[in-house]
Amino acid sequence: MAESNFIDYVKILCRSGKGGAGSRHFHRAKYIPKGGPDGGDGGRGGHIILRGNQHMWTLLPLRYQRHVFATDGQSGGADRSTGKDGEDRVIEVPVGTAVFDAETGAFLCEITEDGQEINLLRGGKGGLGNWHFATSTNRAPRYAQPGQPAIEKSVVLELKLLGDVGLVGFPNAGKSTLLSAMSAAKPKIGDYPFTTMEPSLGIVNYRGDKSFVMADIPGIIEGASEGKGIGLRFLRHIERNAVLLFMIPADSDDIRRDYEILLNELREFNPDLADKSRVLAISKSDMLDDELRDEMARELPEGVPAVFISAVTGQGLTELKDLLWREINSEENQVRQTLTHRDLDVRHRVEEEDSFIFHQDDEVDEELPDMTDQDWEDEFWDEEDTINGN
């Protein structure tokens, strides 16, 4: 059950509230036959707000809440009474959630800190009451502004785990075994391909009082960027990792070729991944003797720090920790921390989520032209054209 609860991609429909209409009311009181206009302003519509929550680790709650609608603002009243504002809707998401436009795939925003709030869709501004339009030459304006319309948008939420080191490798390269050996994480380990079906995080202790986070994702195969295998769904998680740890087993036919295949899949998914710091670990090295290890070392890719390790015997793990810590804290790596999100395309989308169809029973509002706040301040209608006035 725990495996099925990890949801890192969800598509939802959001709609902010529309602004309330301004009132066309005139003051009426005994002995005051010409009290003048006193129609109040309409209340603003509710916002759709995203909020980061460090205690959440999955987008599962949103899978059962596909429609998030804020309420509309109320119309203004007599005696310059302002209508009640619409109720905001706050969507709590895990830290590391990126938001994309579901129609175009364009990146919109991201949540990177606990408690961070982003106003995803602004509620419509309330219309002005008729008292705003009273002048010395027009003492009885019989018009008021309607409220601004609501904004509706389908968005895709992608969770990208925040980790310092991301494990990259083919199925059965020993990634999960390494994570279990270096941290207290207990990922599923088996002797068959694609044992890891969902990402795992582990905290690696270093030199007593230091630590860093290591993320394990399902194995990548050649063509993963085109949709082959299951690694494609989880490549997004290594976009936020500071350092990429490539793991290739010692029994590989061609370590250099395997490394280039993995690197090419990352480039195809997001070109920015090729700029991240990279470390190469040759796993299962306990089967090698010194002579064979020296011979293999001469054939490794150039320009990439490499270490021979064995998660079973513990060989090379201390050296690997030192190497990773140095890369994580290097000045060059700190400069590369900024992530440029790639837009969603057909290959990067989750089919079962995108096939979700929105059923709307609400009446569709007439589409109005985009207007700035100043436009709405200046625009009004005559009495015959007023709508929803009091």
Q: Residue 347: its pLDDT value, please?
A: 58
Q: Name the pTM for this structure.
A: 0.70
**Lowest mean pLDDT, pick from 283-292, 322-331, 357-366:** 357-366
Residues comprising the chain, all counted: 390
pLDDT tens-digit readout, 28-49: 888 887 888 999 999 999 999 9
* 79-88: average pLDDT: 94
Q: Which residues pair with 93 in a beta bridge?
A: 52
pLDDT tens-digit readout, 260-293: 988 888 888 777 777 888 899 998 888 888 888 8
For the chain, the distance separating the N- and C-terminal CA atoms, rounded to the nearest angstrom, is 55
* 119-132: average pLDDT: 94
pLDDT tens-digit readout, 142-187: 999 999 999 999 999 988 876 788 888 888 777 888 888 888 767 6
Q: Residue 2: its pLDDT value, please?
A: 40
With a cut of 90, say whether residue 298 has pLDDT above it. no
DSSP-derived secondary structure letter, 192: S
* pLDDT interval class at 1 (50, 70, 90): very low
Q: Residue 6: its pLDDT value, please?
A: 72
Among the listed residues 188, 165, 184, the one whose alpha carbon sits nearest the alpha carbon of residue 176: 188
Q: Residue 374: its pLDDT value, please?
A: 47
Q: Using CA atoms, how far apart are residues 236 and 8, in angstroms rounded to an integer?
A: 9
Percent of the chain with pLDDT strictly greater than 90: 28
Other CB atoms within 10 Å distance of the CB of residue 76: 33
**Lowest mean pLDDT, pick from 120-124, 270-274, 340-344:** 340-344
Q: Residue 4: its pLDDT value, please?
A: 52
User: Tokens 């700029």 sit at which residue?
Assistant: 275
**Lowest mean pLDDT, pick from 5-9, 105-109, 283-287:** 5-9
With a cut of 80, say whether residue 361 has pLDDT above it. no
* 339-352: average pLDDT: 64
With a cut of 70, say whether residue 27 has pLDDT above it. yes
pLDDT tens-digit readout, 174-228: 788 888 888 876 766 656 555 555 677 788 888 878 888 888 877 676 655 555 5
Which residue type sits at 24? R
* 343-360: average pLDDT: 58
Q: Residue 213: its pLDDT value, please?
A: 86
Q: Residue 66: its pLDDT value, please?
A: 87
The DSSP secondary structure of 364-379, one letter per residue, reads PPPP-----HHHHHH-
Pairing outcome for strands 152-159 and 97-101: antiparallel
Q: Which residues pair with 49 in a beta bridge?
A: 90, 119
The rounded mean pLDDT for the chain is 79
**Structure token pair of residue 201:** 């995080």
Q: Residue 73: its pLDDT value, please?
A: 96
DSSP-derived secondary structure letter, 293: H
Q: Residue 359: its pLDDT value, please?
A: 42
Q: Residue 194: its pLDDT value, please?
A: 56
With a cut of 50, say whether residue 99 has pLDDT above it. yes
In 41-155, alpha helices (H): 60-63
Q: Which residues pair with 46 in a beta bridge?
A: none
